[in-house]
Amino acid sequence: ANTFGDAHLFQPLIDAVLRGGDVYLLSVDFPSYIEAHKAVEAAYRQHDEWITKSILSVARMAKFSSDRSIQEYAEEVWNIEPAPVSGQSV
């Protein structure tokens, strides 16, 4: 019930984390992760609202381009100028 596959597959990992082996503090915010996951599940059930939120999320994202990122690093971090490539304008 409520399991997929071997329910005990990850038990050694769980035991290690619960017995002081959580050196990266993975379990510290696990309850808040579960709550956030429940909120996402509830939001997803509201199909029309989910679509609206999804579209707005994408529309509000900043443009990402690896070329732009590299250019910004070159200018702002490394303080170097681009070198023209034959056949292309920079």
Tokens of 76: 């702002």
pLDDT for res 78: 93
Helix (H) or strand (E) holding 34, with range, is: helix 30-45
Tens-binned pLDDT, residue by residue, of the chain (90 aa): 566 788 789 888 888 888 877 888 878 888 999 999 999 999 999 999 999 999 999 888 877 788 888 888 999 999 998 788 887 665
Residue carrying the six token digits 């989910």: 50
Query: What is the model's pTM?
Result: 0.48
17 burial via Cβ count (<10 Å: 0-12, 13-18, 19+): middle
- State how far the Cα of 50 lies from the Cα of 37, in Å rounded to an integer: 14
